Every structure is written in structure tokens, then in C-alpha cells.
């Protein structure tokens, strides 16, 4: 008999909460709690939960083995969201033979019972943590099994190639080694193209997950910090007429049209003898190179000019030139008045358009998947360039197969699996 785990699967304090159980005692404990037999699966039963301490009107759903989230017999108890009620029902289940679930144990159980793979589990975690529409859409692609199907397709293609290579190795008297290798290389080119497409999607996946980095750059006293505050909608950066007020990065997130942005206020760019301010300026220039978009801020008569900034390799596509303080005088660039909050919403719209480079389609967004797929691609490239024996060629193919399998858990160490599920909350 498997152990039965229990935990609250919803935040406490809402109108309704759910206590979840999974394991062989789930139905028995739920029936004991409500004092009646449950003869139908996957149907809500309206009843009274009685722990001997408190009573509450609730709904109970029982799932038979093979038809639940975890793959085990399970029960879901929907009660009122009071902390007292949730705690008493959970304690009752524990006293009746269940044990409190660890972080992510329900999803880990689902993985162990082949209900989901690792990529789907990571997608569930991303979906739980989603802050934007784009994050939720991208996470659902993994939850829905799109990445798993892609990985399985790649592994199937590699298996077919490996099988033919193994035949050539096992039957050397047939003298088909060269033909087998040439045919394999043709197939590997197509596999690697798909792999590299997934690897290249990692950058966009990270932009969606972590936010698109937008950096505000310009001379002192052009209103960078005031513009920063206007874009995020609150006073976060200190605004002062004194030059050199901002000497370190100030970051804040904002959301616009379902997209997450990380806005960075920076030190004003100028020649200075102050070592602390100089350090801040140097850090700003380094940070600018990694930004997805730069808002170059100037004022009328002193517009932002990339050419004036030394040692900064930027392209025009990454720069949105803005003339601030348009209430005093408008310039030739995108005009705003951060102080008057004029045109700042239109500026957000323009930033959104300029950062609409995130490609559509399946994207990976975590380092583990990226490293596994990149390593697989390297093994395939090594095989295609291999001038040694067919055994060495096949070895690279097996390594590539295993690295691809790391993404879904077809091949994966217990340490990797434990690390993934430790990031889940209790009850999931």
C-alpha cells in the first residue's frame, strides 16, 4: 500500500479552499470525514465534513487510480477557506492515516507514475508563477506536452539513425559502414536543425520569463529618474536637480499588454573626476550592452547622441531616442514630459512595439533544458565531423540521445529530479 499524502492546495483565507489527498487511503479517509460512502468517481458529493472538533459544508470528489492528477487514488475536499477549517480537516486526515505532503510531492508522484514528464512539471511550475499573459501562454505549451512531443520526435529520429548504424557495426562483413555513415549524416543534419531552433529559442524564453530589459541612458539632468518613475507609475528613483544623484542601478518591473519589462535607471553619462560616479558610469555602459532596448534620453537642443558616448557599441535598432521635458520644448525625437506625465503611455506603447521581437512558437526558458539541448547539438556536430571508427560515431549519437532525453526525464539523474520538485509549493 502506498502512503497517502495530504495538504492544502489553495491559499488559505479565500472563500473556498481545497485539501488534496493522494494514495490508497484517500477514499477511505474522505468517507470517514463526511460519514457516508462515495460510490461514484469524479463526481462532486455535497456533504458535511465533521472532524469531531468542527463541521463545515463541503464538496468531495474521489478519483480512481489512473484517473487523477497523480495517477493514484485521490480525493479533493472543497471547504470554506478559513485557516481553522483547513487546518482541522488536514489534521483529521493525518490522524486518520495520511501524512503531510512535502513540497512538490503531488507533482513528483505524477511524474513517477508517468502522468507527466519533467518538461511538463517545469511548465506547471512556470504556470503557477506566471505574472503575465505571455508567461502563461509559454508555460502552457510545456504543460500541454508540446515540448515533450518535440523531444520524443527528435529521439525517435535519432533512434532510427542509431539502429542503422548499429547494424553496420554488428555486421562488418556486409561492408556497409560508409553507406550507413553517409545516410546517418544526412538525417543528423535535419535533427540538428530542429535542435538548434530549440536552443536559439532560449533567449526569447528567458525574456518572457524574466522580463525584457529596458535601460534608460543619457546625460545628467535630462530627467532620466523622473521618466523612470513615470513609466513604473510610482516614485522609486530619487529626482534631484543636482548632477550625479544616480550612481548605481535602480531596477523595477512593470507590466504592459501582458508583457513583463524590467526598467533600469542608470547614472548620467558625463566626464567626471569623481571616482564613485565614474564607477557608476562604467557600470552603466557595461549594462547597456546587455539591454534589450535602450531609451536614450535628451532634451531639446541637447538630444541623445550615441556617437558622444565612448566605448559603447550599440545599433540604432536597440535605441529609442526620447526628448524629455517637452513641456519646455519639443525636439525631433519621441517627445514626453515625465514631470507632467505627458505621452508616457504612448511611450510604453512604443517600447512594446520595439520589443515585439519575441518569436512565436515553442520556446524553452530554463537553463537545465538549454544546457541539455545544446550539449546534444554538440554531440551531433561531433558525430558529423567524426573521422574515426563507426563505434566512435555511434557513441556520439548515444550521448546526443541521452542529452535530449534529459529534458523530459527519459534519461535523468535523481539529483536533477529532486532539484526540480523542491521548487514547488506544498500542495502541488
List alpha helices for 13-104, DSSP H: 26-34, 83-95
Write out pLDDT tens, residues 200-247: 999 999 999 999 999 998 888 888 889 999 998 877 555 444 554 545
Which residues lie closer than 8 Å to 315 by C-beta, 6 or more apart? none
Residue 17: which of 77, 62, 61, 100 has the closest Cα? 77
Write out pLDDT tens, residues 294-319: 998 888 877 776 555 544 555 556 88
Which CATH class, in words, describes the domain spanning 121-207+364-421?
Answer: mainly alpha
- pLDDT, mean over the chain: 85
Torsion of CA 265, 268, 269, 274, to 10 degrees: -120
Residue 365: which of 69, 143, 214, 152 has the closest Cα? 143
Write out pLDDT tens, residues 401-418: 999 999 987 664 565 456
**Grid cell listed for 359:** 518569436
In this predicted structure, the answer to whether residue 96 has a pLDDT above a threshold of 60 is: yes
Report the alpha-carbon distance of residue 342 to residue 92 in Å, rounded: 59
Helix (H) or strand (E) holding 47: strand 45-50
Q: Where are the beta strands (DSSP E) in 167-292?
A: 212-218, 250-256, 259-265
- CATH superfamily, domain 216-253+267-345, is P-loop containing nucleotide triphosphate hydrolases (3.40.50.300)
Q: 255: which DSSP letter?
A: E
Residue 274 has what pLDDT? 58
**Grid cell listed for 281:** 558610469
In this predicted structure, the answer to whether residue 369 has a pLDDT above a threshold of 80 is: yes
Angle of CA points 236, 240, 244, to nearest 5°: 95
Better pLDDT: 3 or 284? 3
Residue 138: which of 119, 111, 117, 114 has the closest Cα? 119
Q: Which CATH number fits domain 5-116: 2.40.50.140, 3.90.226.10, 3.40.50.11290, 3.30.1360.120?
A: 3.30.1360.120
Report the alpha-carbon distance of residue 381 to residue 400 in Å, rounded: 10
Report the alpha-carbon distance of residue 156 to residue 154 in Å, rounded: 5
**What's the whole-number mean pLDDT along residues 358-384?**
89
Residue 215: which of 139, 267, 288 has the closest Cα? 288
The boundaries of every CATH 1.20.120.430 domain in the chain are 121-207+364-421
Report the alpha-carbon distance of residue 322 to residue 44 in Å, rounded: 58
The boundaries of every CATH 3.40.50.300 domain in the chain are 216-253+267-345
Q: Is 389 exposed, middle or buried (0-12, 13-18, 19+ CB in 10 A)?
A: exposed
Residue 37 has what pLDDT? 95
**Grid cell listed for 276:** 564613485
Give the CA distances from residue 158 to residues 155, 169, 187, 405, in Å, rounded to whole numbers and listed in that order: 5, 16, 8, 11
Amino acid at each position: 500500500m502506498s502512503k497517502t499524502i495530504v495538504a492544502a492546495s489553495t491559499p488559505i483565507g479565500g472563500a473556498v479552499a481545497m485539501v488534496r489527498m493522494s494514495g490508497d487511503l484517500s477514499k477511505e479517509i474522505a468517507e470517514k470525514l463526511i460519514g457516508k460512502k462515495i460510490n461514484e468517481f469524479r463526481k462532486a458529493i455535497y456533504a458535511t465534513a465533521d472532524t469531531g472538533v468542527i463541521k463545515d459544508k463541503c464538496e468531495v470528489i474521489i478519483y480512481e487510480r489512473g484517473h487523477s492528477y497523480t495517477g493514484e487514488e485521490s480525493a479533493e475536499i472543497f471547504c470554506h477557506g478559513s485557516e481553522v477549517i483547513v487546518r482541522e480537516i488536514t489534521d483529521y486526515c493525518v490522524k486518520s492515516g495520511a501524512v503531510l505532503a512535502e513540497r512538490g510531492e503531488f507533482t513528483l508522484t505524477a511524474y513517477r507514475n508517468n502522468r507527466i514528464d519533467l518538461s511538463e512539471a517545469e511548465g506547471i511550475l512556470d504556470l503557477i508563477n506566471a505574472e503575465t499573459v505571455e508567461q502563461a501562454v509559454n508555460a502552457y505549451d510545456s504543460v500541454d506536452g508540446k515540448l515533450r512531443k518535440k523531444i520524443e520526435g527528435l529521439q525517435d529520429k535519432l533512434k532510427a539513425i542509431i539502429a542503422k548504424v548499429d547494424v553496420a557495426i554488428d555486421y562488418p562483413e556486409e561492408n556497409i559502414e560508409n553507406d550507413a555513415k553517409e545516410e546517418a549524416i544526412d538525417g543528423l543534419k535535419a535533427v540538428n536543425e530542429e535542435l538548434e531552433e530549440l536552443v536559439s529559442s532560449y533567449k526569447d524564453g528567458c525574456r518572457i520569463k524574466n522580463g525584457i530589459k529596458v535601460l534608460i541612458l543619457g546625460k545628467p539632468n535630462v530627467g532620466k529618474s523622473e521618466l523612470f518613475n513615470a513609466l513604473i507609475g510610482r516614485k522609486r528613483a530619487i529626482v534631484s536637480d543636482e548632477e550625479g544623484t544616480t550612481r548605481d542601478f535602480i531596477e523595477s518591473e512593470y507590466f504592459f499588454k501582458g508583457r513583463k519589462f524590467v526598467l533600469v535607471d542608470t547614472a548620467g553619462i558625463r566626464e567626471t573626476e569623481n571616482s564613485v560616479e565614474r564607477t557608476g558610469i562604467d557600470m552603466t555602459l557595461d549594462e547597456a550592452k546587455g539591454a534589450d532596448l535602450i531609451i536614450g534620453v535628451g532634451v531639446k537642443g541637447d538630444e541623445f547622441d550615441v556617437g558622444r558616448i565612448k566605448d559603447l557599441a550599440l545599433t540604432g535598432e536597440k535605441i529609442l531616442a526620447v526628448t524629455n521635458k517637452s513641456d519646455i520644448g519639443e525636439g525631433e525625437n519621441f517627445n514626453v514630459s515625465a514631470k507632467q506625465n505627458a505621452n508616457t503611455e504612448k511611450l510604453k506603447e512604443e517600447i512594446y512595439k520595439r520589443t515585439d521581437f519575441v518569436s512565436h512558437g515553442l520556446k524553452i526558458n530554463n537553463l537545465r533544458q538549454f544546457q541539455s539541448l545544446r550539449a546534444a547539438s554538440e554531440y551531433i556536430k561531433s558525430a558529423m565531423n567524426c573521422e574515426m571508427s563507426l563505434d566512435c560515431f555511434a557513441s556520439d549519437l548515444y550521448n546526443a540521445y541521452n542529452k535530449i532525453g534529459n529534458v523530459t526525464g527519459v534519461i535523468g539523474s535523481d539529483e536533477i529530479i529532486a532539484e526540480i520538485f523542491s521548487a514547488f509549493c506544498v500542495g502541488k
